[in-house]
Chain A
Amino acid sequence: MTKRISIDPITRLEGHGKIEIFLNDDGSVRDTYFQIPELRGFERFVVGRPIEELPRIVTRICGVCPASHHMASAKAVDGCFGGECPPLAHKLRDMYYHAHYIHSHIAHFYALAAPDFVVGPDADPAIRNILGVVAKVGLEIGTQVIRARAMAQEIQSIIGGRSTHLVWCLPGGVAKGLKKEELEKVKPMVAQLYDFTQFSLKLFKDVVLGNGQYVDLILNGPYTLDIGSMGLVDENNAVNFYDGKVRVIDAEGKEICKYAPDDYFRHVAEHVESWTYLKFPYLRARGWKGFVEGNGSSIYMATPLSRLNVADRMATPRAEEAFQEMFSTLGGKPCKALMAAHWARLVEMVQNAEMLQRYCDDPEITGESFRVVPQRITGEGVGIVEAMRGTLTHHYTCDAKGICKSANLIVGTTNNNAAIHMVTKKAAQHFIKPGKEPTEGILNMIEMAFRSFDPCFSCATHSLPGQMPLEVRIWKNGDLYRRFERH
């Protein structure tokens, strides 16, 4: 008779996920299942609506990365209207998106990752949160974090009119440009954000890399996967978040494919399992080979770390320095240590800040040619951007009147579904041993495996109490004999 451990969010904020762990009689882990027990139905919801409305609707998929959906949707809709979009509109969208990235990465690093590394992965959950982080690093740093985040929000509001739930992108461009007086407001904030990215990198080096135990956990713990990596790159194979081609490398770093957004269907397929509603994307040419690691695996991940793994370089100089330092410290590319994604986010933030500086210095950025009104409906478009948590694909078709006929979304976390499933099992097998009772700290270290992916199951419900309580149940011979609740 097997035992069952269940890590089950009772309520949900960013979607409901559940981890089931089955134990053998001796207490070792037999298997795990990372399940999404809900059917979302968003792709059906948008069918029959005017296609130009979709960029405004998709921001309601999720309150965590609304701008990512807005951008991918806008690009797909551009395609449905013939693909015309002036260069200035792309620049403004990209500029906005860099500010959005900084805002999101700050929240992830300081509110989600830092509690594990600054306070400690097995620390009392009562202090393992951002309040614990602030208590440890000081109120001054906490104030800097909140201020930097607010500045990134403010830049988004200035450029796009809103920081959340954008209505800014239109077919053929954007609804408003950037005025010179607005640009002058943005410039000093960008300078401060750049300084903040340098500060964050230093903090990571001091607190995380300065602790041998953490470095060992990152490099030698169970948080590694020998699978492919996916991410957008520009024409120089540098990291790009808004545009470019999708590049995929294998576990040894060799390029498997590099494709334009319109070609995604030839390269990515989706496998279905009966025990979860979330599909498992894999590389179509290799075929579904199951949840296996190794150079021939058809499974890939799309994370901040994989974006850096697939790129030859960063697009800006200081980010490139940070990129080189990261990979030289981690033993070269591709890096298979999933916890390095936290470091990768900080490297990305440097590029985000440098790109914002670049746009601030661009004499064309305050121009007027930010939209062309489309004159034709061509009926199909694919938009791909890098959402913070992975490659995001929107594919739409519409009829001759511009009414949506179909929508297909492959979101960041879906790309990572197989990888999350696999690493959760690895972590469970590593930490749960025969004769050793699973403690709250051990269960948190299992959760860290999937938390490194910053998974998002898309919604934005705010059902109270507004967080994700966890219930852990341990079953023995079919009976419940141990139960943990986090309150």
Chain B
Amino acid sequence: MRTLLLGMGNPILSDDAVGVRLATDLKARLIGTPGLEFVPECSVGGLSLLDVVSGYDRIIVLDSIRTAAGRPGDWYAFTAKRLRETMHLSNIHDTNFATALELGRRLGHRIATEDDIFICAIEVEDNVTFSDTMTSGLEAAYPTVREEILREVMALLES
């Protein structure tokens, strides 16, 4: 089974970097795992994602999220099935993640099924300010988040 570990985000946009930083740290710990490949920094969206995710049986996405009641460092794990409900929204420039995946499938690309796309989304505070450091709240929570998500990913790889 071919698995991709994908870090999403912008490394100079405050907390938006968290997915990239996690993927980089997890790569250092998991490199050499059979069948596991890494794209630690992916700052593209829409149709460009098809170029990145095609050809894998399973994808693990590390990304940021902002919800109304979330606290920096909270994190959520879910599969791409949860993204389906937002599939038909128009992105201002391009397609969204779920639409890009579905388009790829319909056009015959080898795209992992929704059940095999695992997403770890980390709650962030600021993803609009240009900065090469994360906010203090997320920075403080980061070591714990990293270890928890590492355990989650390792369990996933063993399943």
Residues of A at under 8 Å CB distance from B?
Answer: 9, 11-14, 16-17, 38-42, 44-45, 57, 60-61, 63-64, 107-108, 111-112, 115, 125-131, 134, 139, 142-143, 146, 149-150, 153, 163-165, 451, 454-456, 459-470, 486-487
User: Could you tell me if B90 and A125 are in contact, using CB atoms closer than 8 angstroms?
Assistant: yes
User: Could you tell me if A462 and B64 are in contact, using CB atoms closer than 8 angstroms?
Assistant: yes
Given the known interface contacts A60-B11, A146-B50, A469-B86, the answer about A40 and B106 at a Cβ–Cβ threshold of 8 Å is no
Q: How many A-B residue pairs have CB under 8 A?
A: 185
Contacting residues, chain B, for A14 (C-beta < 8 A) = 91-93
B83 within 8 A of A: yes
Contacting residues, chain B, for A39 (C-beta < 8 A) = 129
- Identify which of B44, B66, B89, B106 contacts A164 (C-beta below 8 A): B44
Apart from A41-B129, A468-B91, 10 more pairs, CB < 8 Å = A17-B92, A129-B88, A129-B89, A129-B99, A134-B103, A459-B16, A462-B8, A463-B16, A467-B86, A467-B97
B9 within 8 A of A: yes
The residue in chain B whose Cβ has the minimal distance to the Cβ of A12 is B128
How far apart sit A479 and B107, CA to CA, in the bound complex (Å)? 47
Contacting residues, chain A, for B33 (C-beta < 8 A) = none
Chain B nearest CB, measured from A160 CB (Å) = 15
- Identify which of B47, B92, B129 contacts A468 (C-beta below 8 A): B92
B158 within 8 A of A: no
Contacting residues, chain A, for B86 (C-beta < 8 A) = 465-467, 469, 487
* B residues 30-83 touching A (CB-CB < 8 Å): 42-48, 50-51, 63-66, 83
B153 within 8 A of A: no
How far apart sit A487 and B83, CA to CA, in the bound complex (Å)? 10
How far apart sit A63 and B16, CA to CA, in the bound complex (Å)? 13
User: Could you tell me if A461 and B93 are in contact, using CB atoms closer than 8 angstroms?
Assistant: no
B138 within 8 A of A: no
How far apart sit A14 and B43, CA to CA, in the bound complex (Å)? 11
Contacting residues, chain A, for B129 (C-beta < 8 A) = 39-41
What does DSSP make chain A's interface, helix, strand, loop or mixed?
loop
User: Could you tell me if B88 and A139 are in contact, using CB atoms closer than 8 angstroms?
Assistant: no
Contacting residues, chain B, for A467 (C-beta < 8 A) = 86, 89-91, 95-97, 99
Given the known interface contacts A125-B89, A461-B9, the answer about A153 and B51 at a Cβ–Cβ threshold of 8 Å is yes
Contacting residues, chain B, for A41 (C-beta < 8 A) = 129-130
The residue in chain A whose Cβ has the minimal distance to the Cβ of B128 is A38
- Identify which of A45, A149, A464 contacts B64 (C-beta below 8 A): A464
User: Could you tell me if A45 and B130 are in contact, using CB atoms closer than 8 angstroms?
Assistant: yes
How far apart sit A112 and B92, CA to CA, in the bound complex (Å)? 7
How far apart sit A451 and B64, CA to CA, in the bound complex (Å)? 26
User: Could you tell me if B94 and A111 are in contact, using CB atoms closer than 8 angstroms?
Assistant: yes
- Identify which of A57, A63, A153, A456 contacts B12 (C-beta below 8 A): A57
A-B pairs with lowest CB-CB distance, top 4: A467-B96, A466-B97, A45-B130, A462-B8
